């Protein structure tokens, strides 16, 4: 599942304005916040293993008019131990007609007692006669429920068709919501086969994991049904009310062994686009479709094209054929996450899959590519080989991030330089979050559903991918991918733990005579310990001394927090007598410190290529020398090195290891840089400084002058202009977009006026070609920021116009929040509470946080309306990200105390980790401001 909440929700161009993820130990915090991931046992949450499911015969009738569903599930069970009780997962369902048939005893029983634990989401049935060990049985349960808008379980999504509001239904089960749709053994290791039958009105389309086996119109006169519970469902079709409509029965083929969280089905009036791909391994041709309602389907072609391209690449890499007969994608108007890897039926929100092919922008193209590729990667990582329990979520998400967003996309689009982009997009993101005391290990104990849902974060995704990328670089990509293939082949249709992965890579190392190292030993602390190291470099007469300590954004860790020593690939770059660079990839630091003999009179650098998951602290003079040498181009140091230097410099300044002035000197040294991705890292970090000192007018003014003056972004705008050419390199178009956005954010009058004039013409003519599509968001934001109610109402209309592509709708939400007009701000708040889709609320709060004039007001608005907002998210777990977005950019000790007091008596079990991280961020910002204000002022 690819999340769109938290760190990776938004375009870096805009999210960087308010991203202040830093860390500070807070004294006197409530226990509910600080005990995020305790050592509590999962025994009270996990199901007993005395019986295990092998097959589900699932029938679902969907009534979209009444917004309800009902069904019958027959679960084939293997009885491992003698038992007269069955415990399974169930939530928010009405159950009836329960019976149990023992195949060995030849008897059918009715339960004598039932009990339900709403907190653990479990039901227990007791029967008069015990099932014997090593026997088989079939449990039959009828169920019914409501199609809510909670975006979890089996839910409804709404859209508009010719002015009429309509609904369709779809599922979102990961991680623990299959139990909301049908009674089941809802744990990833309890795999079974699923045969799904859907009953629906004839004008609708039914979708599920597998292809349709048969579909027929329901005819009462031919409906002989031996099962009494199933007969009841069919009988409802003959009532006076429902007999006016024609109904159909759609039966799907049986799935392979799979986990419940990957089951998917949907019912609605869908259209589709179709393609196919030919397996490079077997030559078999598989159909590929993308489904959506009529208002969106014409914009889904690019997403389908991406799916067609990536599937054969994955097959070649893994040497495993995609195992299902088809792979569909469904575009959903209401979706909690970004996208979901249901086996054979990927689902996701409109922004993940839709693009106007007549006006494609690079950011949208890259986003759709990443979403589709990430979810297709899961067809192997997660679907074929599934983590044994949610402790090992990273085996799904870390791999899908690395494979789906870097390795495979890099093969298809080398010009995008995705390995370099990874440093800002994922590595730096992970290090920011992992530098907090409220962090958690990649492999983390998850005893219950509230814990499980909170670890879908940058540590399970970005840090896991970063650690795997580091290992891949260390052992070599060919060996790494061979090991991954071995891992998948050894566990086809099974469940895995971390050990299984290391065994596969170790086997590949032995087969190909790779570097002699035990992967499990090397990777242990990277996976099971929270945090990461900072390497302090001290120069000696014979070389350098390198010491590792845990990095915290508050500065040197106390002894009790500095107990871990990591096995660290040092990747030392040195230069020989001829000036030729070389990298020692075999150098490893596994102790607290070591010495390395090198010639320090020549250029050198640790973490060459920025593959290591750590920061490097050089003496200030050496940092300046490395930056000057790196600024000369790629002769010695690479693009990756330059990006890493910028991020390390700012991060080390933030934590007090270095000064902000030394970091700004590095930025100034790179002022003649030509690569977009270096400028991207510079822009993000300068925006972080502005966002941190947002209430200090002098520093904000000085930083803005630095950003827009002759030093940095304004010369790029002057050189590249505002015209995008189809033939120009990707780097150029992205750099233009970034430079114009930064110059406008810094208040450059000429740039702002140019953007306002573009928008003025667009408002007058409704001709969208008047604004380059890559500049639409920046243009809309600045038009409202420096405009009035006319501009505000215009962008509000864009959001309300459901025919707009998602990138325009998202831009409109940000723009609505950019106004400095009191009446417009009040209207936005009313809109959030009464008209915004639940999935969009986070965009509004994030937009309000970008607007320094509404930042503090927005936080108060959130707390004033907390109960109403929390209630809208009661069925899912996105609320944790809304909390971070609404509160994570304040900056005073008073803010911290106020937030702690506000949450003191609230049940924070669904979001306590995000709350702790938010408080850490605020504390770190306050500490940074106190420590570095004089330094930054003097430099400016």
Catalytic residues: 375
Bond before 175 cis per omega within 30 degrees: yes
CB contact at 8 A, 730 and 764: no
CB within 8 Å of 749: residues ≥ 6 apart: none
Quick one: tokens of 258? 């799979």
β-bridge partners, 57? 74, 195
Quick one: tokens of 85? 């009780």
Q: Quickly list DSSP for 801-813.
A: -TTS-HHHHHHHH
In the chain, what are the helix, strand and coil shares in percent, each to the nearest 5? 45, 20, 35
CB atoms within 10 A of CB 554: 23
Quick one: tokens of 934? 């004089």
Q: What is the distance, to the nearest Å, from the Cα of residue 8 to the centroid of all Cα atoms in its chain?
A: 6
Quick one: tokens of 707? 């950003």
Quick one: tokens of 726? 């189809």
Q: Which residues of 699-711 are buried (b: 16+ CB within 10 A; e: fewer)?
A: bbebbbebbbeee
Q: Quickly list DSSP for 267-307.
A: EE--EEEEEEEE-TTT--EEEEEEEE-TTTGGG-HHHHHHH
CB contact at 8 A, 329 and 306: no
Q: What is the largest CA-CA distance in the chain?
A: 95
How far apart are alpha carbons 188 and 261 in whole angstroms? 7
- CA 415, 419, 424 angle in degrees (round to 5)? 110
Quick one: tokens of 912? 């306590």
Quick one: tokens of 251? 């039966």
3-state secondary structure of 445: coil
CB contact at 8 A, 316 and 403: no
How far apart are alpha carbons 149 and 394 in whole angstroms? 29
CB within 8 Å of 652: residues ≥ 6 apart: 534, 615, 617, 658, 663
Q: What is the distance, to the nearest Å, from the Cα of residue 211 to the centroid of all Cα atoms in its chain?
A: 29
Consecutive H or E run containing 711: none
Helices (H) and strands (E) in the chain, counts: 33, 31
Site of tokens 């959130």: 862
Bond before 273 cis per omega within 30 degrees: no
Closest CA to 420 of 617, 681, 684: 681
Helix 464-475 to helix 477-490 angle, to the nearest 10 degrees? 120
How far apart are alpha carbons 600 and 544 in whole angstroms? 8
Beta-strand pair 285-292/327-332: parallel
Alpha-helical runs (H) found in 39-108:
none
CB contact at 8 A, 196 and 253: no
Consecutive H or E run containing 551: none
Alpha-helical runs (H) found in 179-300:
228-236
Consecutive H or E run containing 54: strand 51-63
CB contact at 8 A, 280 and 196: no
Length of the chain counted residue by residue? 940
CB atoms within 10 A of CB 227: 17
CB contact at 8 A, 611 and 469: yes
């Amino acid at each position: 599942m690819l999340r769109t909440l938290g760190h990776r929700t938004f375009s870096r161009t805009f999210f960087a304005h308010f991203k202040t993820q830093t860390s500070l130990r807070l004294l006197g915090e409530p226990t509910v916040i600080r005990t995020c991931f305790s050592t509590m046992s999962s025994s009270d949450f996990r199901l007993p293993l005395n019986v295990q499911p092998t097959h589900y015969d699932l029938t679902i009738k969907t009534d979209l008019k009444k917004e309800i569903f009902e069904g019958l599930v027959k679960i084939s069970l293997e009885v491992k131990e003698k038992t007269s009780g069955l415990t399974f997962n169930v939530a928010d369902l009405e159950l009836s007609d329960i019976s149990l048939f023992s195949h060995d005893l030849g008897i059918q029983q009715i339960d004598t007692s039932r009990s339900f634990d709403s907190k653990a989401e479990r039901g227990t049935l007791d029967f008069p006669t015990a099932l014997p060990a090593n026997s088989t049985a079939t449990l039959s349960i009828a169920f019914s429920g409501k199609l809510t808008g909670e975006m979890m379980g089996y839910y409804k999504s709404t859209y508009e068709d010719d002015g009429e509001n309509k609904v369709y239904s779809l599922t979102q089960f990961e991680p623990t919501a299959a139990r909301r749709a049908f009674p089941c053994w809802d744990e990833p290791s309890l795999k079974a086969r699923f045969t799904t039958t859907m009953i629906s009105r004839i004008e609708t389309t039914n979708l599920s994991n597998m292809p349709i086996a048969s579909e027929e119109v329901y005819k009462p006169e031919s409906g002989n049904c031996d099962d009494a519970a199933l007969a009841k469902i069919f009988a409802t079709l003959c009532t006076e009310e429902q007999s006016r409509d024609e109904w159909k029965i759609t039966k799907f083929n049986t799935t392979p062994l799979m986990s419940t969280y990957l089951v998917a089905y949907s019912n609605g009036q869908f259209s589709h686009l179709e393609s196919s791909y030919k397996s490079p391994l077997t030559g078999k041709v598989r159909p590929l479709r993308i489904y959506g309602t009529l208002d969106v389907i014409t914009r889904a072609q690019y997403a389908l094209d991406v799916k067609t391209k990536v599937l054969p690449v994955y097959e070649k890499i893994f040497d495993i054929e995609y195992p299902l007969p088809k792979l569909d994608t469904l575009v959903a108007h209401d979706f909690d996450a970004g996208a979901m890897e249901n086996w054979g039926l990927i689902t996701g929100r409109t922004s993940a899959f839709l693009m106007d092919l007549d006006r494609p922008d690079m950011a949208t193209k890259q986003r759709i590519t990443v979403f589709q590729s990430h979810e297709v990667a899961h067809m192997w990582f997660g679907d074929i080989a599934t983590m044994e329990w949610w402790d090992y979520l990273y085996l799904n998400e870390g791999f899908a991030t690395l494979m789906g967003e870097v390795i495979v996309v890099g093969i298809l689009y080398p010009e995008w330089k995705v390995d370099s982009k990874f440093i800002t997009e994922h590595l730096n993101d992970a290090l920011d979050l992992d530098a907090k005391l409220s962090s958690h290990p990649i492999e983390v104990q998850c005893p219950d559903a509230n814990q499980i849902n909170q670890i879908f974060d940058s540590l399970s995704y970005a840090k896991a991918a970063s650690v795997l990328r580091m290992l891949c670089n260390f052992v070599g990509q060919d060996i790494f991918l061979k090991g991954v293939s071995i891992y998948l082949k050894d566990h086809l249709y099974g469940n895995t733990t971390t050990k299984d992965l290391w065994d596969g890579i170790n086997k590949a190392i032995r087969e190909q005579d790779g570097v002699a190292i035990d992967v499990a030993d090397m990777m242990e602390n990277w996976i099971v310990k929270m945090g990461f190291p900072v390497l302090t470099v001290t120069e000696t007469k014979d070389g350098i001394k390198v010491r590792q300590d845990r990095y915290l954004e508050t500065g040197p860790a106390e002894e009790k927090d500095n107990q871990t020593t990591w096995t660290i690939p040092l990747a030392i770059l040195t230069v020989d007598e001829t000036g030729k660079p070389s990298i020692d990839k075999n150098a490893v630091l596994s102790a607290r410190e070591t010495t390395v003999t090198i010639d320090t009179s020549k250029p050198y650098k640790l973490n060459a290529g920025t593959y290591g998951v750590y920061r490097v602290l050089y003496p200030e003079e050496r940092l300046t020398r490395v930056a000057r040498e790196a600024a000369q181009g790629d002769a010695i140091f690479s693009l990756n090195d330059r990006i890493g230097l910028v991020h390390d410099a700012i991060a080390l300044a933030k934590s007090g290891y270095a000064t902000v002035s030394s970091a700004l000197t590095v930025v100034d040294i790179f002022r003649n840089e030509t690569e977009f991705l270096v400028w991207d890292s510079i822009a993000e970090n300068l925006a972080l400084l502005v966002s941190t000192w947002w209430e200090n007018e002098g520093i904000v003014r000085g930083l803005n002058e630095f950003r827009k003056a002759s030093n940095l972004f304004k010369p790029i705008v002057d050189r590249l202009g505002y015209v995008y050419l189809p033939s120009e390199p990707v780097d150029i178009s992205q750099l233009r977009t970034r430079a114009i956005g930064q110059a406008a954010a810094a208040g450059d009058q000429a740039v702002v006026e140019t953007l306002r004039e573009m928008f003025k013409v667009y408002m007058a003519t409704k001709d969208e070609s008047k604004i380059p599509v890559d500049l639409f968001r920046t243009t809309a934001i600045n038009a409202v920021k420096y405009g009035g109610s006319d501009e505000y109402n215009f962008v509000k209309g864009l959001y309300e116009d459901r025919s707009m592509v998602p990138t325009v709708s998202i831009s409109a939400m940000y723009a609505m929040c950019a106004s400095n007009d009191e009446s417009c701000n009040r209207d936005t708040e009313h809109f959030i509470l009464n008209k915004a889709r639940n999935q969009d609320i986070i965009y509004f709060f994030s937009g309000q946080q970008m607007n320094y004039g509404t930042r503090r007001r927005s936080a108060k608005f959130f707390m004033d309306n907390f109960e109403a907002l929390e209630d809208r998210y009661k069925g899912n777990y996105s609320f944790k990200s809304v909390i971070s977005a609404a509160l994570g950019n304040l900056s005073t000790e008073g803010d911290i105390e106020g937030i702690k007091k506000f949450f003191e008596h609230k049940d924070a079990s669904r979001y306590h980790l995000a709350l702790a991280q938010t408080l850490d961020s605020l504390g770190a910002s306050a500490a940074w401001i106190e420590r570095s204000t004089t330094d930054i002022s003097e430099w400016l």
